[in-house]
A and B are shown apart, each in its own frame.
Chain A
Amino acid sequence: MSDTELLDRFGDADTVRAPYQFYENLREQEPVFYSPTMRGFIVTRFEEAREVLTNDKLFSSEPRVAAIGAMAKFAKAYVPLYEAAGTPPPMPTLVVVDGDRHTRHRQLVDGWFNAPAVRKLDAAIMVLVDELISAFIDKGKADIYKDFCLKLPLSVICDMLGLPRGYAELMHRSGDAQVRLASGGAETEEGRVACHQVIIEFQKFIQPYIDKARSNPGSDLLGYLAHTPTKDGDLLSDAEIHSLVQTLNAGGTETTTNGLGNMFGLMLENPEIQTQLREDASRIPFFVDEVIRLESPVAGAPRWANEDSVIGGVAIPAGSMIQARLGAANRDDRRYGCPAHVDLARKGVRNHVGFGAGIHYCLGAVLARFEMKVSMEQALARMANIRIDPAAEAPKRANKVGVRAWLNLPIIFDKIA
C-alpha cells in the first residue's frame, strides 16, 4: 500500500457533504475506483462515465437480485418484509430496467413529461411558484429549501398523479428511503430495513388511490396508468403502478427538490450570479444547466456489467456494479474549462450528464428545467438582495451519498412585490 493510495471515502459523512476534492483525487489518481462501501466501481471522468451510461448492451440498468450496494430496493433478501405486510415487493421499472420492459413503462409516462406536456402545465406551475413565495414574502425571510424547494416539485407531482398534497412528510420520507436504497451499501442493514418499512408505509397510503383509479378514474396520471393498455396489450399490475408512483415520487421529492436547492445554494454562495441574472434574465436557463452540471442532484447512476469488460483500462468483471459518478464527471477538466466555476456563457451548457445519458436520460428533464427556470425568475422578480440569513442556523448539506442535497437554506431579502 503506497502513501498516495486513495482511501474509500464514500461512507464518510464530511466527504459526502463536501465531495469535490475527493472526486478530483479520484479523477486524477484512480478514475475507475473500486469502493468497498459502494460495493462496486466508481467512474469519475466524463468520457468513461458517458460510455458507462450509453453502452446499454455492455452495462445493464437492471440490478442483480442480490445487490445491496446499489438499488437495494430490489434485493431479494427484503421480499419477506413485503410479504409480511401484504404489499407488492418493489418491481423494477423505468430507471432500473432495459429493453422492452423499459419501453413498456416509458411509453406510457413519456407523454406526461415531454415538452408539450410541460407546456400545458406551465401556467399551473407559475401559479404554484407564486403561491409558495407569497406565503413568506411579507416576512422578509424564509428557509428557501424547506419553504419552497421541498414543496414545489411535490405539489406538481401530487397534482399530476391526482394525490392530495397534504401527505408531504410521508412522501418525502419515501423519496428519501428510495435514494438511500439506491446507494444501499452506504447504509447499515438496520438502515436498509427501515427504508423498506417506509416504502411499505407509502404503498399502504397509495393503494386506496390505485383502487379508486381502477374503479372510478379521474383525468390524472394515476387514472391513466390504471386504464391505458401497455404496448403489450395488457394493463399495468398494481405492483407496476406502485413502482412507477414511487419512482415519480422520488423525482418529485428528491431530484427536482435538490435541483432547486442547489440552484439557490449556488447563487447564495456566489452573490455575483444574482447580479448577473438580474441584469440579464435570459441567462437563467444557462444557470439552471450550470447548476445541474456543477451540483448534480443525482450524484451517481449505477449499472451492472453484462460481461467482462474494460473501462478506463480497468478490468470490470461480469456482474459487477459500476457507477457513473455524475457529480464528478461533470467537473472533469478534460471536458470543461474552469469546471468548478459557473459560466453563464458556457458553450454546450446542456451537454452535461447531470440528467444521465442515452436511453435512461431523465424522463423529467424538461419539467425539472422548467420548474427551476420559473422559480428563479419569480424569486428574482419578487425578492431583492437575497442572501443567507446570518441570524439563522448556517446552511448544512445532507449526508446522502446518492443525491446532492441541502438540509436547510435560510435566507433574508428585501420584498419587491
Chain B
Amino acid sequence: MRVLVTTRQGVAVELQPTPGDSLMSALHTMSDGVEGVCGGQTTCGTCHVFVNAGWLDRLPAPNEEEAALLDMLEHAQETSRLSCQIVLVDDLDGLDITLAPEE
C-alpha cells in the first residue's frame, strides 16, 4: 500500500508501509517524520499530522482522548490527527497527509 506524505519543507514523499501498521510507525521510517515520544499512548502529542483533502471522512473519527489532546496543541486544526491512532487498513491505500509543524 502507499501513503503520500508532504514534509514540513513541502516535499512530497511516498511511503510503502505494511497494512496493519500505524501511520506513526510508517512515518518513523522517514528521517524527519514524527517523533511519537510516548509510542502511541495518546499522551505526548508529538505525532501530529494534517489529513489532506478527501481523506478525513474516510478515517474513523478520533476518540475522546485523541480529540482532547489535539485540542491542547498549538498547531491543531480541523484536519488534525495523531498518527499513532490511525491504523493503515487496506482501504487507506493512497492516504494523503502533511506533517504538522513540530511543537
Interface residues of A (CB under 8 A from B): 54, 110, 114-116, 118-119, 282, 285-286, 347-353, 355, 357-359, 361-363, 365-366, 369
Q: B43 contacts which of A54, A116, A353, A365 (Cβ < 8 Å)?
A: A365
Residue numbers in A under 8 Å from B101 (CB-CB): 347
Interface residues of B (CB under 8 A from A): 35, 37-39, 41-46, 64-65, 68-69, 71-72, 74, 101-103
A297 to chain B, nearest CB (A): 16
B99 to chain A, nearest CB (A): 11
Residue numbers in B under 8 Å from A358 (CB-CB): 37-39
A58 to chain B, nearest CB (A): 15
Other than the given A358-B38, A365-B38, 6 more pairs (CB < 8 A) read A119-B71, A348-B102, A349-B102, A353-B37, A355-B37, A362-B43
Most chain A beta-carbon contacts within 10 A, residue among B41, B42, B102: B41
Residue numbers in B under 8 Å from A348 (CB-CB): 35, 46, 102-103
How far does the alpha carbon of A369 sit from the alpha carbon of B44 in the complex, in Å? 10
**Chain B residue with Cβ nearest A365:** B43
Q: A361 contacts which of B37, B74, B103 (Cβ < 8 Å)?
A: B37
Q: B46 contacts which of A114, A285, A350 (Cβ < 8 Å)?
A: A350
B35 to chain A, nearest CB (A): 4
Pull 20 A–B residue pairs with CB atoms less than 8 Å apart, ordered by A.
A54-B39, A114-B68, A115-B69, A115-B71, A115-B72, A116-B64, A119-B68, A347-B102, A348-B35, A349-B103, A350-B37, A350-B44, A350-B46, A350-B103, A355-B38, A357-B37, A359-B41, A361-B37, A362-B43, A366-B43
How far does the alpha carbon of A286 sit from the alpha carbon of B74 in the complex, in Å? 10
Residue numbers in A under 8 Å from B103 (CB-CB): 286, 347-350
How far does the alpha carbon of A353 sit from the alpha carbon of B44 in the complex, in Å? 11
B73 to chain A, nearest CB (A): 9
* A361 with B44, Cβ < 8 A, contacts A285-B74, A355-B37, A366-B72 known: yes
| Contacting pair A115 B68 (CB below 8 A) | yes
How far does the alpha carbon of A345 sit from the alpha carbon of B97 in the complex, in Å? 24
**Chain B residue with Cβ nearest A283:** B74
* A357 with B39, Cβ < 8 A, contacts A116-B64, A366-B72 known: yes
* A114 with B44, Cβ < 8 A, contacts A348-B103, A351-B102 known: no
Residue numbers in A under 8 Å from B46 (CB-CB): 348, 350-351
| Contacting pair A116 B65 (CB below 8 A) | yes
How far does the alpha carbon of A54 sit from the alpha carbon of B38 in the complex, in Å? 9
B7 to chain A, nearest CB (A): 13
A381 to chain B, nearest CB (A): 20
| Contacting pair A357 B45 (CB below 8 A) | no
How far does the alpha carbon of A348 sit from the alpha carbon of B103 in the complex, in Å? 4
How far does the alpha carbon of A184 sit from the alpha carbon of B102 in the complex, in Å? 37
How far does the alpha carbon of A368 sit from the alpha carbon of B101 in the complex, in Å? 23
| Contacting pair A350 B45 (CB below 8 A) | yes
B74 to chain A, nearest CB (A): 7
How far does the alpha carbon of A347 sit from the alpha carbon of B46 in the complex, in Å? 11
B42 to chain A, nearest CB (A): 7
Q: Which 10 A-B pairs have the closest CB atoms?
A: A115-B68, A361-B38, A348-B102, A115-B69, A351-B35, A358-B39, A116-B68, A347-B102, A116-B64, A114-B65
| Contacting pair A115 B38 (CB below 8 A) | no
How far does the alpha carbon of A365 sit from the alpha carbon of B46 in the complex, in Å? 13
How far does the alpha carbon of A116 sit from the alpha carbon of B46 in the complex, in Å? 17
